[in-house]
Structure 1
Amino acid sequence: MTSLRARAVTGGILWAVAIIVLGLAGVSSYLTSQTQARFIEVLETRHAQAIVAVSNNSNSADDLARAIGDLAYQVPFSGQYWQVQTDSGAIYASPSLEQERLPGPTGLSGERQMREVIGPAGESVFAIGQWVSINDGTMWHVQVASSLRSFEEDQVVLRNTLLTAFAFVSFVGVLGALTQVAVVLQPLNKLRQDVSGRWEQDDGLEVQSYPIEVAPLVNDINTLMERNRDIMRRSRRQAADLAHAIKTPSAIMRNELDNLMMEGTDVQEAVDALDRLDAQLKRSFARMRADGTDATVGVATELDTALGRMQRAFTALARNEGKTFTASYDENLRVRMDQNDFEEVMGNLLDNALKWAKSEVKLEARVATDGQIMISIADDGPGIPKDEVAKATQSGQRLDTSKPGTGLGLAIAHDLIHAYGGKILLSKDDALGGLAVLMRLPFASAKRAD
């Protein structure tokens, strides 16, 4: 499944990275050219100073060395050098060159020459040289050179500074992209939460509370939810009408069978068949009702009310049979299930438990760790073998015919609970030793304020 958040974040990050890389390349190129221009400008200044010194002090080498008096020229192999050569071949050099010499001039051209050459100790230097005419008519070649080592070191420092700065910019950019995505997607997150809440209510979404771009989608969702509610309401009404229409012929048939039985006719098979028909119809109608309820209409059952009624009724029934029934449940629990369907499920399950129990039935309800409602019904009866558990929830599977019934109680409970998004599990109860029916039902949120 494609995620809008992932696509937006990925696109934002890629765009930010592209902009940052291009910016880094552009700024780095610009600063490199500026640094190089500054390097050459400083060297040109040194060359101009050297020419002036030569013009004024060409009579004495000592005077020339003092005239070009930059301290960098006094330190051996400092990276800053000057060298003067006369047209007669005499060479004067800065103390920083020691016994080394810079490459001599090429030709006698009076134009200034800039070149990269090999200097002292094989070091790369950038040199500026030019033949100049002195007052006495002689020609002197004045050359200054600067090591490229310092220039390269400055470049490394510059690159590291730029990388640090752009890494920070990248972090801020990615953080900004994530923030922007969160802000842009916030209306969609709100829409998802509102839709989830509105499924349990009977009103629509407020279109004006969403951005203009999302408003058409909200309108469509409102239309879809209302249409779905209407379809389910009609389905429930049709199921109720059909059940009512079938109830009268069934009652007539049962009355006729009772009359025949009173006259001595053996109609037990017909009575059993009618009982099973009624149970099957009851199961089908229950499923039809539930299919139109789960997460579609705002249904909820207050367990304080429903289980309280069950506790009173089955406590009396158990007492009449010489058995005990106990119930414990947390207060203010609500399940997302129609109350009639919930009481039908609980009635079937408690009736089965009381029917098969030897002496005790327990009912418990609490909130599970995942927020759903856990309801358990346990008895001290014979239970159900593991290999027959699956049959117990199938239509019409009577595992024991020694007691009356249609064999549909567990099947109806299974269908209804699953229709409402719940789960039911049959197992052996560790405490009582009989059957344990565990139900997990969705929790219903608090009632909407009027």
Structure 2
Amino acid sequence: MAGSLRLRFLLAVTLWVILGIAAIWFSAVSIFSRHVEQSYHEELEVHVRELGRLTEIAPDGMIVLTRPLSDPRYDVPLSGFYWQVTADGRAPLRSPSMTRGSLEEDIAHSPEILHRLENGPTGPAITYGFTRKGAAGEDIHFVIATDQRELDRLIGSFTRDLTAWLAALAALLLATGFTIISFGLRPLDRLSLAFARLRHGETDKLEGDYPAEIAPLAADLNAYIHQNEAMVARARVQAGNLAHSLRTPLAIITDEAERLAKHGESRAAGMVLLDQASAMEQQIEYQLAQARASAGKPPSGRGVVLPDIAMPILRAMERLHPDKGFTLDANGCKGVVLPLDPVDFAEVLSILLDNAGKWSRSRVALSFTCDKTGACTIRIADDGPGIPADRIDQAFVVGTRFDREAAGSGLGLAIAQELCAAMGITLTLRNGTQGLVAELRHTAARPVET
């Protein structure tokens, strides 16, 4: 996935969702906390004022309330909601909820309502308080408090619910983003499949309808493909014309050189001309093979179907070498397709089979082996003398002939190697148990379409 456009989009969407959800989480928790705290402070301020209005000094000097506070939580023992009224020289009056402890009255030292965080009966408490004068001129201290944990509980509960909801929203947004990305990049997937079909030789152009952003690219590529095929076709025709135009004068030069070589006084000059004519013929054949190899990649059409491609070649070899036996073993490769130019591949097989037929004693074995990874190996083994190990590398050099008496130009293996290199095939030679083995290996086979 490294370098994947889909992965980049997905990472960008993921980062954006994380940042967005985090911003929503922090802002929502902050706003909610501020509003809850403000609501608590307003409520406590209202309650402390109410406490002040309801408090009276009885004729016996006791502090009493004309009625309970409007919030019933002040009547529940240790509920976290408490109030306290104290005056100099009088017994303090506390809320029924305060079954233990007391509230600090230092906060109530001014007629102005003040608040701060103090220690309450059940932990840290938000405390409000103020003072006013009694009928006898004494200071009466009014204190009311709510546990801080009540505020924390509300904020924590909201935070947990918000976190769960935003996590579900983030998962939904990521799934939606992935779906949108997959849908948006589907034309590129189709374009990739079209390229694969073109590369495997299943078609000769990029097929399919594409969005306006991609359609010009596909059209330009198709135009380039067709232009390239036309150039290749013209190059092959021109190469053939060049070969035909050179071979006729070269044949005349060769004939004249042979006549000169028959006369004693001109024999040396005739032999020089014959050698140079032979070198020219080798170079013409080799350069034509190179031009053909460079022109045939990649192929279009159905490609090379195994082992069908070998059948007519084997029949031709049996007529060309009637005293040799040719065998074929497909090894499970029947119907496998190689995305190669059938003409070039057939020429490689022809060169290697003909070379094996020339040097074999009695038989030549052609075998195809395919595996599940898409690799295909073609082996051509003969029972001839083979090649000395230290001279195998020379076999691919232009003009190399190990036996000058045998027919041939020394170009076959060089041409075969050029064609294989152009088609992406690895060609190797090695000595087997009975003779020479030529091995071709290709790694892009596919099953045949039925």
Judge same fold: TM > 0.5, yes or no.
yes
Q: Is the 1:294–1:421 contact (alpha carbons within 8 Å) kept by the matching residues of 2?
A: no
Partner of 1:414: 417
Deviation string 1:128-165 (CA, Å, 9 cap, x unpaired) is 22346778987633221111123224333433333333
1:300 to 291, 303, 310: 303
Superposed displacement of residue 308, structure 1: 1.0
Query: How far apart are 1:347 and its partner, in Å?
Result: 1.6
Moved more, 400-409 or 19-28: 400-409
Question: Counterpart in 1 of 2:124?
Answer: 124
Aligned to 1:210, the other structure's residue is in SS state coil
Q: Quick check: 190-199 or 242-251, which moved more?
A: 190-199
Give the structure-2-normalised TM-score: 0.82
Stretch deviating more after TM superposition (164-173 or 11-20): 164-173
The alignment status of 1:279 with 2:282, answered yes or no, reads: yes
Instruction: Name the CA shift for 1:420/1:426 in 2 (closer, same or farther; >3 Å).
Output: same
Letter in 2 for 1:248: T
How far did 1:335 drift? Answer: 3.3
The CA distance in 1 between the partners of 2:168 and 2:87, in whole Å, is 56
Q: CA deviation at 1:18?
A: 2.2
Paired letter, 2:163: L
In structure 2, distance between residues paired with 1:262 and 1:388: 35
Show the counterpart of 1:216. 216
In structure 1, the residue corresponding to 2:105 is in which secondary structure?
Answer: coil
Q: Does 1:240 align with 2:243?
A: no
SS in 1 for 2:55: helix
8 Å CA contact 1:57–1:67 kept in 2: the answer is no
Deviations 1:106-147 (CA, angstroms, capped at 9, x unpaired): 5664333332223347x3210122346778987633221111
- Aligned to 2:145, the other structure's residue is in SS state strand
Structure 1 letter corresponding to 2:435: G
Give the CA deviation at 1:38: 4.0
Structure 2 unaligned spans of 5+ = none
Q: Give the stretch that moved more between structures: 150-159 or 397-406.
A: 397-406
**1:31 Cα deviation from its structure 2 partner:** 1.8
- Out of 304, 310, 314, the position equivalent to 2:313 is 310
Cα distance per residue 1:314-350 (max 9 Å; x no partner): 3345542xx4321123433443333332232112111
Q: SS in structure 1 opposite 2:314?
A: helix
Contact 2:335 2:447 (8 Å CA) reproduced? no
Residues 254 and 274, structure 1, Cα contact 8 Å, conserved in 2: yes
Contact 1:73 1:82 in 2 (8 A): no
- Aligned counterparts of 1:174 and 1:3: Cα–Cα separation in 2: 18
CA spacing shift, 1:196–1:397, aligned 2, 3 Å: same
Residue 40 of structure 2 aligns with an amino acid whose one-letter code is F
Instruction: Provide the rounded CA distance (Å) in 1 between the counterparts of 2:298 and 2:138.
Output: 106
Q: Paired residue for 2:23?
A: 22
Size of the aligned set, in residue pairs, is 441
Q: Name the residue aligned to 2:175.
A: 175
For 1:418, give the aligned amino acid: A
Amino acid corresponding to residue 75 of structure 1 in structure 2: P
Distance across 2 between alignment mates of 1:428 and 1:60? 125
Partner of 1:192: 192
CA distance in 2, matches of 1:38, 1:341: 87
Q: Cα offset for 1:286?
A: 1.8
Residue 371, structure 1, aligned to residue 377, structure 2? no
Paired AA for residue 292 in structure 1: A
Moved more, 182-191 or 397-406: 397-406
CA RMSD after TM alignment: 3.8
Q: Say whether the 8 Å CA contact 2:335–2:448 is kept in structure 1.
A: no
Deviations 1:403-425 (A, max 9, x none): 44333222111110111222222
User: Could you say what secondary structure the match of 1:280 adopts?
Assistant: helix
Give the counterpart of 2:344 among 341, 346, 352.
341
User: C-alpha offsets along residues 154-194 of structure 1, whole Å, 9 cap, x if unaligned?
Assistant: 33343333333333333333333332222222212222322
Could you give the per-residue CA deviations for residues 201-241 of structure 1, whole angstroms, max 9, x where no partner exists? 7765468x211222222232233223222222222221121
Alignment match, 1:31: 32
Query: Contact 1:293 / 1:299 at 8 angstroms: preserved in 2?
Result: no
Q: 1:19-77 CA deviation, whole Å, 9 max, x = no partner?
A: 2222112211122123323433554565466446535989786965994694665535x
Kept after mapping to 1: 8 A contact 2:328/2:365? yes
**Cα distance change of structure 1 residues 253 and 331 upon mapping to structure 2, 3 Å threshold:** farther
Name the amino acid aligned to 2:81: Q
Q: Which amino acid aligns with 1:287?
A: Q
- CA–CA separation in structure 1 for the residues paired with 2:60 and 2:14: 69
Q: Determine the C-alpha separation between the residues in 1 that align with 2:144 and 2:327.
A: 106
2:152 paired with 1:160: no
1:75 counterpart (77, 87, 95): 77
Instruction: Report 1:29-178 matches (<5 A).
Output: 29-44=30-45, 46-47=47-48, 50-51=51-52, 53-55=54-56, 64=65, 67=68, 70=72, 75-76=77-78, 78-86=79-87, 88=89, 90-94=91-95, 97=98, 100-105=101-106, 109-120=110-121, 123-131=123-131, 140-178=140-178
Q: Distance in 1 between matches of 2:272 and 2:350?
A: 26
**Secondary structure of the residue that 2:84 maps to in structure 1?**
strand
Contact 2:304 2:339 in 1 (8 A): yes
Percentage of matched positions with identical amino acids = 29
